[in-house]
Amino acid sequence: MQKIKYMSEESLNKTGGLDTEEKIKEAARTIFHQKGYAATRTRDIAEAAGVNLALLNYYFRSKEKLFNIIMSETLGRFMEKIRLIFNDPGSTLEEKIGMITSQYIDLLIDEPEIPLFIISEVRTNPELLLEKLPIRDLIFRTIFYKQFQQAVAERRIDAIHPIHYLMNMIGLIIMPALAKPILQSAFHMNGDAYKELMENRKQLIPRWLYTIHLNSNQSDNEK
């Protein structure tokens, strides 16, 4: 298990503009992402933020309220990238896939705990995801969806439900982050080698998706 990094007094002083509430949220985000809701104590968060427990309770009242804030912000930040790219009028369907792949791999290199945190907590409370995020709108009311339909109509890709396309994309991006400890142990990878592996996937994933979903008639013509 990854060791929790507590914020020292020196690091707190360097934050300058961060007020007490933001210091608590920053500490809570780190610990919740690493340990999840059930294993986290408010005392751990207070210690990491350099405040006493009474002050934490003054700002956030309860662990549940603080967790809900962190969960909402994490989900929002995770999905905001997709929303912006899916509604970008200046990029093609293929370019959108490349942009999402690149940006999410960068995010997961910097914060590898996020996928497991989201999956674990959403499995515990799936209503939270539905409440916080308009998933259907995020998929079906976007430029991405119109471009997807056009690609199907032009027989450039197979006529499949877009959720298959998205599941394949998300799985290819997220799975190596979830399996990072296994990959590093089994293949004797250090941090730099793992990062290089992930960087390579920025080019590979869009190509794999294109090959997987290439319309069978078009594929036959290209042979």
What pLDDT is recorded for position 193?
Answer: 96
Give domain status of residue 182, yes or no: yes
Q: DSSP letter string over 160-186?
A: --HHHHHHHHHHHHHHHHHTHHHHHHH
Q: Where in the sequence is the domain holding 153, given as residue range(s)?
A: 72-222
The per-residue pLDDT for 75 is: 82
pLDDT at 14: 45
Are 103 and 55 contained in the same domain?
no
Q: 42 and 144 share a domain?
A: no
User: Do 78 and 184 reside in the same domain of the chain?
Assistant: yes
CATH number, domain with residue 140 = 1.10.357.10
Residue 95 lies in a domain: yes
- Tell me if 55 is assigned to some domain: yes
Q: Identify whether residues 82 and 175 lie together within a single domain.
A: yes
Claim to verify: residue 200 and residue 129 sit in the same structural domain = yes
How many CB atoms are closer than 10 A to CB 140?
A: 13
**Domain contains 67:** no
Task: Report DSSP state, residue 125.
Answer: -
In a domain, 4, yes or no: no
* Co-location of 90 and 15 in the same domain: no
**Same-domain pairing of 38 and 127:** no
Residues 200 and 115 in one domain: yes
* Count of domains observed in the chain: 2
What is d(CA 17, CA 47) in angstroms, rounded to the nearest whole number?
20
pLDDT at res. 16: 42
Instruction: Tell whether 83 and 48 lie within a shared domain.
Output: no
Same domain, 96 and 168: yes
Cβ proximity of 31 and 25 under 8 Å? no
pLDDT of residue 215: 66
Residues of the chain predicted below pLDDT 70: 1-18, 128-130, 132, 215-223
Residue where the block lists tokens 């309220």: 65
In a domain, 210, yes or no: yes
133 shares its domain with 57:
no
Asked if the structure places residue 2 within a domain, the reply is: no
- What does the pLDDT read at residue 70? 92
Q: CATH number of the domain at 48, please.
A: 1.10.10.60
Asked whether residue 42 falls in the same domain as residue 113, the answer is no
Q: What pLDDT sits at residue 97?
A: 96
